[in-house]
Amino acid sequence: EDKVVQSPLSLVVHEGDTVTLNCSYEVTNFRSLLWYKQEKKAPTFLFMLTSSGIEKKSGRLSSILDKKELFSILNITATQTGDSAIYLCAVDSGNTGKLIFGQGTTLQVKP
Amino acid sequence: DAEITQSPRHKITETGRQVTLACHQTWNHNNMFWYRQDLGHGLRLIHYSYGVQDTNKGEVSDGYSVSRSNTEDLPLTLESAASSQTSVYFCASSGSGTGELFFGEGSRLTVL
């Protein structure tokens, strides 16, 4: 059975801290791994990763994929209160948008 | 701008009632999906469609049905609502050949 597992499930940090969120997966036909950020409403897209070792970066957020060890990490540096959200990891196992999601990591950034 | 809209955004119903959640997208995407989100479970796939007249069951499809009569709409029906179906429901769509999903704002359903 295809599975995506995120850790930790929740995290509380203070502004300025750096955090690393983890996502491991077991799927039969990997195509890509995606990260989403979910605040009050709909998840919003952050990154799509398809190749090992190539870092994707957007401002203070970055992510990398290891297809040999079957995991990805999402780093957030110099965290701000606006980074407080649920971060969702998902794997596309058929390039058809049928994503398998992990449980999510709830990040709370305190002032 | 293209978008994906869900209605109603909030609904309270009683056990045993039939409920339909609407999803309409103007992206002209072939692929449409319904997920439910519950604490501790992330997003779980209910049903999905790769085009008109095509529907498929996801991992938690029992008690739900969908129909796809045109490209824009994928309504989700709960035939006989149960308290276990209290959840937040997200509709999403994607273009062919891409993995990125575009989500609606969600519909919060409470079954009493």
Summarize pLDDT for B48-87 with one digit per residue, the tens: 999 999 999 998 999 999 999 999 999 999 999 999 999 9
CB within 8 Å: A43 and B40: no
pLDDT at A93: 80
- What is the DSSP code (8-state) at residue B51? E
Which of A41-55, A89-103, B10-24, B70-84 shows the lowest mean pLDDT across its residues? A89-103
Structure tokens at A26: 């077991």
Dihedrals φ, ψ of A67, to 5°?
-80, -15
CB B76 within 8 A of CB B61: no
The CA–CA distances, whole Å, from A23 to A52, A69, A100, B78 equal: 14, 11, 12, 32
Most B-contacting residue of A3, A100, A105 (CB-CB within 10 A), to test interface: A100
pLDDT at B100: 83
Average confidence (pLDDT) over A43-50: 92
Most B-contacting residue of A103, A105, A106 (CB-CB within 10 A), to test interface: A103
CB A99 within 8 A of CB B101: yes
Please indicate if any CB of chain A lies within 8 Å of the CB of B64. no
Structure tokens at A54: 């190539």
pLDDT at A96: 62
Average pLDDT, chain B: 93
Q: Band of the pLDDT at B105, cuts 50, 70, 90?
A: very high
Better-predicted residue by pLDDT, B44 or A97:
B44
Q: Band of the pLDDT at A95, cuts 50, 70, 90?
A: low
Across chain A, the runs of DSSP E, i.e. the strands, are 3-7, 10-14, 19-26, 32-38, 44-49, 56-58, 61-66, 71-76, 85-92, 99-101, 105-110
CB A101 within 8 A of CB A35: no
Q: Are strands B107-111 and B10-13 parallel, antiparallel or unpaired?
A: parallel
Name every residue in A having a CB less than 8 A away from some CB of B.
4, 6, 9, 31-32, 34, 41-45, 48, 88, 90, 92, 95-104
Share of residues in chain A with pLDDT > 90 (%): 77
pLDDT at B98: 65
Q: Which residue of B has its CA nearest to A9?
A: B40
CB within 8 Å: A45 and B104: no
Better-predicted residue by pLDDT, A76 or B99:
A76
pLDDT at B81: 97
Distance CA B37, CA A103 (A): 9
Distance CA B5, CA A10 (A): 30
